[in-house]
Chain A
Amino acid sequence: DSGVTQTPKHLITATGQRVTLRCSPRSGDLSVYWYQQSLDQGLQFLIQYYNGEERAKGNILERFSAQQFPDLHSELNLSSLELGDSALYFCASSVEGVSRVNEQFFGPGTRLTVL
């Protein structure tokens, strides 16, 4: 157990719908990262938040958005869902200095299926 929690574990929805994935980082970690892992694909970085502020952005679609709340949990919102959005979505957290990248601890993931 990494200490990072994600809910829900599984999500099945239809095209065009909107879903919210939730992540709670390890106690004390200020940084949260979101990744998408499609079938037979690697880990695609989506976005990073540090202490409530967006820190880095990857190949995140405009239909996707995220935020980090004052209690440091984060939510990833996916809207106008398409079949191709079906994937495993991981959240990771780390103790992050201003300019130092540290070990990222991954949550168990949310498996999203769009029908």
Chain B
Amino acid sequence: GENVEQHPSTLSVQEGDSAVIKCTYSDSASNYFPWYKQELGKRPQLIIDIRSNVGEKKDQRIAVTLNKTAKHFSLHITETQPEDSAVYFCAAQYGNKLVFGAGTILRVKS
């Protein structure tokens, strides 16, 4: 079926540590994988995305890796800061739509 599994559901890290969130998908035809950050009461905002023609993409402290063979992709946040605290959603393309993971609540403790 069309699903995206996301782990962990909650993640607490100390400020300055790294955070990793993992997602798996089921459709081998999927070729677009965005990550969204949603702060409390606000809209989801794209933070990084990757297409299947690349294996890794970086943007300052965040990076995404993609393993098409294993059908999983991960978000890596380095040197976490309190303002990174939010809910993070991964998504995978299924046909003309995006299917989102259930989300990960990231708490960065200072």
Residues of A within 8 A of B (CB): 2, 33, 41-45, 48, 50, 55-56, 58, 90, 96, 99-109
Known interface pairs A42-B89, A101-B32; A106-B96 also in contact (CB < 8 Å) = no
Q: How many A-B residue pairs have CB under 8 A?
A: 52
- B91 — nearest CB in chain A belongs to which residue? A43
- A31 — nearest CB in chain B belongs to which residue? B96
Q: Is the interface of B mostly helix, strand, loop or mixed?
A: strand
Count of B interface residues, CB-CB < 8 Å: 20
- A1 — nearest CB in chain B belongs to which residue? B43
Least Cβ distance of B35 to chain A in Å?
11
Most chain-B Cβ atoms within 10 A of its Cβ — which of A42, A96, A108? A42
Q: How far is the CA of A58 from the CA of B100 in the complex (A)?
A: 12
Give which listed residue, B42, B45, B100, contacts A43 with CB less than 8 A: B100
Could you tell me if A42 and B43 are in contact, using CB atoms closer than 8 angstroms? no
Among B23-43, those with CB < 8 Å from A are 32, 34, 36, 42-43
* Residues of chain A with a CB closer than 8 A to B45's CB: 2, 106
Residues of B within 8 A of A (CB): 32, 34, 36, 42-46, 49, 89, 93, 95-103
Pairs A–B under 8 Å by Cβ, sample size 11:
A2-B43, A33-B97, A43-B100, A50-B96, A90-B43, A96-B96, A103-B34, A105-B46, A106-B36, A107-B43, A108-B42
